[in-house]
Amino acid sequence: MSFDVQEYYSKLDGGDVILAYKGSITTDLINNVLEEVEAKLEGVDEEAKIRKKIYNVLVEALQNLYHHVEELPEELKSKDNFESKFGVLVVAKVADSYKITTGNFITSEKIKFLKDKIDKINSLSKDELKDMYKFILNHQKLSAKGGGGLGLVDIARKTGNKLEYTFQHYADDYYFFSLDVFITEES
């Protein structure tokens, strides 16, 4: 069965949701989301440390989304009425954690690279992640888009939690990549 965005989104958009969005991932959207979440976090009874961590991780997650979102071909876009650069972002409180979910379409050729990268990150200890971060920081050039291959490593380091992900087939060569990031109050 192929991936159903509405169903996926409606499952996310429940419970203690701080912000839920599906649509075009643009610079303006990022600015608005950051402003809104920051304002909402102001009113949340959490330590400044946690609020900062959430904001930091949200910046990386959103900018990853912005840099890597794949444009669907016209016939698929119009079939399901997708905006261009379609992506999903949900920030929610789940038990004792804050969960940031991002979702975007990718082509099948990217799956292996992403999966290997996340599995590698998930297998590393805190110190190993620090070494990986420093290695990439010092040895890889920024891409023309401004991404540096550091976003996921940084998220894993800051949260201290494993990255959870799924790839679901949508149509033709297109898959939907969903990533859950957890910020625990104790971390």
Partner 1 sequence: MEPISIEGTPKTPTVKFDAGSGIIEIKGRSIPENSIEFYKPLVDWLEEYGKSPMEKTTVNVQLEYFNTSSSKCILDVFKKLEAIHKAKHDVVINWYYEEDDEDMLEAGEDYESIIRVPFKMIEIVE
> Which residues of the chain form contacts with partner 1 (CB under 8 A)?
27, 30-31, 34-35, 47-49, 52-53, 55-56, 59-60, 63, 66-67, 130, 133-134, 137-138, 140-142, 145-148, 150-151, 154, 158
Report in angstroms how near the CB of residue 134 gets to partner 1 at its nearest.
6
Q: 5 or 183: whose CB is closer to partner 1?
A: 183
Residue among 179, 168, 171, 10 nearest 80 (CA): 171
Find the radius of gyration of the CA atoms of the chain.
16
The DSSP string of 20-73 is EEEEE--HHHHHHHHHHHHHHHHTS-S-HHHHHHHHHHHHHHHHHHHHHPPPPP
Q: 1 or 48: whose CB is closer to partner 1?
A: 48
Q: 75 or 127: whose CB is closer to partner 1?
A: 127
Report in angstroms how near the CB of residue 27 gets to partner 1 at its nearest.
6
Report in angstroms how near the CB of residue 1 gets to partner 1 at its nearest.
35
What are the tokens at 151?
């976003």
Report in angstroms how near the CB of residue 74 gets to partner 1 at its nearest.
26
Q: 53 or 99: whose CB is closer to partner 1?
A: 53
Residue among 72, 62, 77, 69 nearest 29 (CA): 62
Query: In this structure, which amino acid lies at residue 107?
Result: T
